[in-house]
Amino acid sequence: MFVAARFTPAMPTTRAPRRSPRLAASARRLAPSGTSAPARDLLSFSRHPFRIVPSTTAAGAGAVPASARRAASARIRANASDADADADDAPVNADALLREMADTSDLGKRGELFFVGQMILLLCVAFPPIDLGEDVQMNLSGNSFFDPLIGLALIALAGLLLTRGVRDLGNSLTPFPKPRGDNVLKTKGAYAATRHPMYSGLVFGSFGLALATGSPVRTFFAAVLTFLLNEKAATEELFLEEMHGKETYEAYSKTTPRLVPNVQGLGALLEEAAGGALVKDSFGGGGEKKEGGDDE
């Protein structure tokens, strides 16, 4: 009588990875006394001849695919770039600016006299100390109608240069010719049109007010202010060359004028200002665009 024997297939056994006896001995020597075997395994190395990684006991499921590492690196670089852009576009710190103006530790070395003279001349342009009467009026165009229009256009241009200059300069803003210690050389935005857009704005605004009012006294003080600001800009540029390097600043100076904006840079500012107004209208003054609008 035959007895049927049950056939049980042999289960494959998992072989432990072979380790070099020399590496295992090194791991035992490096491990402190009393270290368990799994902990010593962490000190061993895989059999791969070209890379040093933990053995299968430790590597396991913790490996990160190369594609995931590349994606994470790209996100880190993008976040760093955004952080740098945010730092450049940060609004002016008014408290830091006031503290700098009140600081007397470096008095006389920052060009304070330029700032004092600038403020006096601006007050003289706004409030002429001499009144020549209505009989003495300036009429450059020969038509009393055009001079006020030209003056208003210059005042509008001055407002654009001043506001963009302050915004683009950010926390590097200072009223003195000597730049702040954390100064960043700006070459874009308003500073692509002129190296000193705020000085240009003060000059255009002063002459614009003189034309709009037909005041020869204002015209005289505007001319004196232009001379002073040109000298202040020249002094400031010496500091900037010392801080950022003469070759770097000279390369910037060759493409960007000191006070009179170039056509390309000024056109870009006007286009951006007009485009911003159009976008605001297309959004209806709100944060979301109206339905049916075309993307531009």
pLDDT digits (tens, 9 = 90+) for 117-175: 999 999 999 999 988 776 566 666 556 667 889 999 999 999 999 999 999 998 888 99
Distance CA 106, CA 204 (A): 32
pLDDT, residue 6, reads: 52
pLDDT, residue 61, reads: 45
Give every residue of the chain whose pLDDT is below 50, as ranges: 1-3, 42-62, 76-87, 278-279, 283-296
* CB of 225 closer than 8 Å to CB of 122: yes
Nearest to 218 by CA among 117, 120, 129: 129
Tokens standing for residue 65: 């695919």
pLDDT, residue 226, reads: 97
* CA 4 to centroid of chain Cα atoms: 86
pLDDT, residue 143, reads: 61
Which CATH class, in words, describes the domain spanning 148-282?
mainly alpha
Enumerate residues 6+ apart whose C-beta is below 8 A from 265: 190, 192, 193, 194, 256
Assign 164 to helix, strand or coil: helix
Distance CA 157, CA 295 (A): 28
Q: Counting beta carbons within 10 angstroms of the beta carbon of residue 287, is it exposed (0 to 12), middle (13 to 18) or buried (19 or more)?
A: exposed
- Enumerate the domain spans of the chain: 148-282
Distance CA 202, CA 92 (A): 19
Nearest to 114 by CA among 247, 237, 291: 237
Enumerate residues 6+ apart whose C-beta is below 8 A from 140: 147, 211
pLDDT, residue 73, reads: 53
